Amino acid sequence: MKEKIKEFSKKYLIGFILGLITTLSISVIAATYFPSGDVTYDNTESGLESTNVQGAIDELYGVCFPSAGDQIIEDNGLEKDPYECRYFFKGANPNNYITFNDEDWRIISVECDGTIKIVRDVVIENIMWDTYGSNNWARPAALNSYLNSTYLNSLNSASKRQIISHDFSIGGVTRNNNDLAGQVNDENNKTWNGKIALPTASEYLRTNSNSNCKTLSSNNGNYETCKNTTWMYVINIDYWWTLSASASDIDDVFFVTNYGAVFNNYPYYTGSAARPTLYLSSEVQITGGDGSQSNPYTLG
């Protein structure tokens, strides 16, 4: 039975979470998984009819979360976040590719409000976070203005309709922070609402499957290992900006280095890159693909 359930989870669970039910031919009506006792996931009530992100999350979490949900989700690279109500794709190369704006993007997380947070796979090179040396994203920073005007306007009309204005965490964090939970709280202490921003420093750390890469300091000390256990690491890019400002220096922001560590620098440094990040509306439907690089999820 356990082998059956593992096969079921790999083939069908991501379909539940990401709204792929309508594109799959599913004959399995119910399944049982045994983390510590018999836990039954019965999807007969919905008739396998979840067609959007929110419905899929409600269906899955309402029945088998948390006792069975965590382990099944982990089998697919999507794991429950221990710090807030989110589910992250973790590891070196999970199946989290998605086509957006006719480009390859990747899914950072599935949110409990039904939205999907995605990041562009190809960076925008040689761009400053801010031209005046401020680390206040909401001011707005120069990169904020660029992403939410020039860049946003460059997207095709279908993609623009799929984006939702959303709160992004912009609170300051501390370098060499050994408390990731505290860092997440610090990031969440201040928010900015808009359409396009960047990944936070903690999101970079939380996509890592290595338990020794969970804080800024341990990530710095173990970078040769840490860069190989997260899909968010970018090869051949010296630095790319995060959304996170320094809590102690009003003119510093954090970036990810070419060796995988997280450091802070002046926001007007021109050698860094940006990775546009946004939330897809909970009404968006995923109509095909399996999330692999050769067959990314497609949106309808």
Residue 292 placed within a domain: no
Domain closes at, from 76, 105, 135: 76
Q: Is residue 264 part of a domain?
A: yes
Least confident span in 51-60, 86-95, 108-117? 51-60
Residues 7 and 122 grouped into a single domain = no
106 and 245 both lie in a single domain:
yes
Asked if 237 and 173 sit in the same domain, the reply is yes
In a domain, 205, yes or no: yes
pLDDT digit string (tens) for 207-232? Answer: 999 988 888 777 777 778 899 999 99
Residues 131 and 168 in one domain: yes
Q: Does residue 137 surpass a pLDDT of 50?
A: yes
CA distances from 131 to 62, 140, 254 (A): 47, 11, 16
User: What would the pLDDT profile of 273-293 be if each residue is shown by its tens digit?
Assistant: 999 999 999 888 888 888 899
Q: Into how many domains does the chain fold? A: 2
Residues 142 and 226 in one domain: yes
Neighbours of 46 (CB within 10 A): 16
- pLDDT of 26 strictly over 70: no
pLDDT at 78: 85
Mean local confidence (pLDDT), 142-155: 98
pLDDT at 44: 42
Residue percentage of the chain with pLDDT more than 90: 51
Could you list the beta-strand ranges (E) of the chain. 30-33, 39-42, 78-80, 86-89, 97-100, 103-111, 116-120, 163-164, 166-169, 191-194, 239-245, 253-257, 262-265, 277-280, 286-288, 298-299
Domain annotation covers residue 300: no
Is 276 a domain residue?
Answer: yes
Indicate the pLDDT class of residue 101, thresholds 50, 70 and 90. Answer: very high
The pLDDT assigned to 76 comes to 62
If asked whether residues 235 and 264 sit together in one domain, one would say yes
Return the residue matching tokens 């999907």: 116
Considering the chain, what percentage of its residues have pLDDT values greater than 70? 74
Whether residue 285 lies inside any domain: the answer is no
Q: Tell me the average pLDDT across 181-205.
A: 96
* pLDDT in the model for residue 170: 98
Choice among 34-48, 151-165, 247-261 with the minimum mean pLDDT: 34-48
Contact 102, 154 (CB under 8 A): no
91 belongs to a structural domain: no
d(CA 85, CA 18): 16
Taking residues 108-117, report their average pLDDT: 90
Rounded mean pLDDT of the chain?
78
- 12 and 122 assigned to the same domain: no
- 16 and 153 together in one domain: no
Domain enclosing residue 31, as ranges: 1-76
Sheet harboring 262-265: ordered strands across? Answer: 239-245, 253-257, 262-265
Looking at the structure, do residues 218 and 155 belong to the same domain, yes or no?
A: yes
Do residue 69 and residue 142 come from a single domain? no
How many helical (H) and strand (E) elements, i.e. helices and strands, does the chain have?
11, 16
